[in-house]
Structure 1
Amino acid sequence: MGGHFQGARERPNGPRQRDGECSRGAGRNRQIHRGLCSPSQFSTPRVECTPTRETPIARRCPDAPMRVAGQPQARSTVKSTVFVVVLVFSLIATGADAQRGPDTLGKIKAAKSINVAFSGDSLPFSYVGEGNKPAGYSIDLCQRVIAGIGQAVGEANLKVNWIVGTAAERVQMVATGKADMECANTTMTQTRLKDVDFSNLIFVDGGGFLVTVDAPINRFTDLNGKKIAVIKGTTTEVRLNAAMKARLVNAQVTTINDGSEGIALLTTGAVDAFAGDKIKLIGLAAQAKDPNKFAMLMEDLSYEPYAFALPRGDAAMRLEVNRALTKVYVSGDIEGIFAQWLGKLGRPSGLLAAMYLLNAIPE
């Protein structure tokens, strides 16, 4: 609070005492006012009330407290103190409630369903597969997490409401409560941590460039004076602009809405390169009509740690999500999931293998 409460001094209750009336009550008894010097304290002069003047305050005993019959001032002080104490504890309780954060598990239990945001075109991590159902590496991990959450809230058969969206849209869905979590290839960043929390890492990737095999482009600096496509609202967009400035590469950046648009522009020659997360670019190229038309530059643009976006400040929700992910890593089930979706690219990199090991947290 911004300071101390200072109450004004209250007057004694009742009518003002007349000259010569030193005590409360009827009559003009010549009594010594409580708090004034008594004969036992000073022998001479004896201070008594006179009918002609009020007893001077200066003649009071130095150590005698100033008290008034009925003590209205003391009661006022006690009331003020009680009010301040109650107010302080109320503010503390309110602050504690705010610090508890959202109760996502309670919301899921009450609804018997969970809302999950995902990407519709981020093969092999998250995309719309056969039967118009979500599929991919991240989706398989997410299904394990959803099962763990269902067990935690006592609802084994949670209904899953899948909501498709871009990276920026998915983060916003979680931040506003429209989605309870998101499962895709979202990069954990300090900027996004202002709005949402993240699970433990699920994958590590690097940003790169997809080009056509016949293009005279072998490294990042060869893109000087060229046109580069990048999906808007992604971390690649931010890091591409920073890298161009740092490496003095003057290229024209074209922002696009999704991966299929980038492949189309690259195929027709409207752009010279398509910037994005390497694994996603490989997945998009594999889906193209002629996958052999494309090549990936060896040079990395950035480091991309993937994680699931979660409601900010909800420790209980984050715990259950991480508990489910840990079981996948500890049991070794992650090997089968990796092989299914990323096995064609070879074994996990040393960095990815280390990530799996570091996140295999014991009970």
Structure 2
Amino acid sequence: MRQLIVAAALAMLGCGANAENLSGTLQKVKDTGVFTIGYIGDSQPFAFVNPQGTPVGYSLDLCRKIAMATKEKLGLAELELKFVELTFENRFDAVADGQVDIECSTSTITMSRQERVDFSLMTFVTGGSLLSKSDKPIASVDELAGKTVAVLKGTTTAVALKAFLQSRQIDAVVVSVADDPEGLAMLNDGRADAYAGDQVTLIGQIIKSRDIRGYTLSQDLFSFEPYGLMVRRNDADFRLVVNRAIAKIYRTGQFQSLFEKWFAAVGIEPSPVLIAMYKLQAMPE
């Protein structure tokens, strides 16, 4: 009898995550053996498709590490990663409806968005800026009077830009575009005098264009944009796995190699606010 009790105890210890009452995303991943990552494919260097057709980037590297933490949490021998390309318009529904388990791009954390989805710890901090042609540079938002500026529709940058223009009583024409290529096309052919976006993603677009000297980036910021990874609401156990993985990346210094890989290599240096973000969220176990 004693041997049976010992064996039963060892079996219970060996169950690990399988002995827990799983729910939500963790239960879904355990049942299917698939971890589904959503991303916006034109968000270089955070999320984009490389020439080999593979989704890559800073945010996607974070999510790959989160996937491995989920695999370990569930005690799975194998875990398939599935990537689903999203748009700025459908990303919230894709997360809320369970089409993807996590969204890994450049989504700004806001209170109103948390009525629909939840967010991880902050993964990056940037702000709204202006991209213009070097032969007709625009150094600040104050210079937009009487000019046309393009901006991605459905983004916090668009809301912040309009609010900033109104607060400064700057009379500018704001045109909404569906994606970065459309915004850059408007700038390049003269239909827009500037293209507004998060400064770090605008830098990514300049690098992608391979015409660095052809563009000017304003240095002043008209908004504060803290990025996070989107997950479903009311899924605390999975969000804990996500945040534990991110905190470990910050705590152990793994973020340094990620930053070097995706930002420092193209001349982007970490701002004091970003360095503080890494340090403040490097929470202990």
Describe how 1:275-286 pairs up with structure 2 within 5 A: 275-286=196-207
1:126 matched to which residue of 2? 47
**Partners of 2:30 and 2:222 in 1: CA distance:** 42
Q: Aligned match of 2:262 in 327, 335, 341?
A: 341
| Cα deviation 1:280-321 (Å, max 9, x = unaligned) | 001001111422110111110100000000110100000000
Question: Which TM-score applies when normalising by structure 2?
Answer: 0.89
2:241 matched to which residue of 1? 320
2:282 matched to which residue of 1? 360
For 2:237, the aligned partner's letter is A
Cα offset, 1:101, TM superposition: 11
Kept in 2: contact 1:174–1:310 (CA 8 A): yes
Q: Aligned match of 2:134 in 199, 213, 218?
A: 213
Describe how 1:191-206 pairs up with structure 2 within 5 A: 191-206=112-127
Kept in 2: contact 1:202–1:307 (CA 8 A): yes
Cα offset, 1:156, TM superposition: 4.2
2:101 matched to which residue of 1? 180
Runs of 5+ consecutive residues of structure 2 not aligned to the other structure: 1-20
Higher relative contact order (CA 8 A, sep 6+): 2
1:90 matched to which residue of 2? none
State whether structure 2 residue 98 is matched by structure 1 residue 144.
no
Cα offset, 1:216, TM superposition: 4.8
**Partners of 1:130 and 1:139 in 2: CA distance:** 16
Describe how 1:1-363 pairs up with structure 2 within 5 A: 103-343=24-264, 344-363=266-285
Cα offset, 1:202, TM superposition: 0.6
Paired positions, count: 264
Kept in 2: contact 1:129–1:135 (CA 8 A): yes
Kept in 2: contact 1:101–1:312 (CA 8 A): no
**Partners of 1:131 and 1:273 in 2: CA distance:** 32
For 2:222, the aligned partner's letter is L
**Partners of 2:137 and 2:241 in 1: CA distance:** 49
1:47 matched to which residue of 2? none
Kept in 1: contact 2:137–2:216 (CA 8 A): no
Cα offset, 1:122, TM superposition: 0.5
| Cα deviation 1:220-270 (Å, max 9, x = unaligned) | 111011111111111111111111111111111111111111111111111
Kept in 2: contact 1:230–1:237 (CA 8 A): yes
| Cα deviation 1:171-223 (Å, max 9, x = unaligned) | 22101111111111110011110011100011101111101111152221110
**Partners of 2:272 and 2:177 in 1: CA distance:** 32
Give the secondary-structure state (helix, strand or coil) at the position aligned to 2:63.
helix
For 1:302, the aligned partner's letter is S
Give the secondary-structure state (helix, strand or coil) at the position aligned to 1:150.
helix
Give the secondary-structure state (helix, strand or coil) at the position aligned to 1:211.
strand
Task: Look at both structures and tell me which one has the larger radius of gyration over its CA atoms.
Answer: 1
**Partners of 1:346 and 1:286 in 2: CA distance:** 11
Kept in 1: contact 2:37–2:63 (CA 8 A): no
**Partners of 2:225 and 2:111 in 1: CA distance:** 12
Kept in 2: contact 1:121–1:259 (CA 8 A): yes
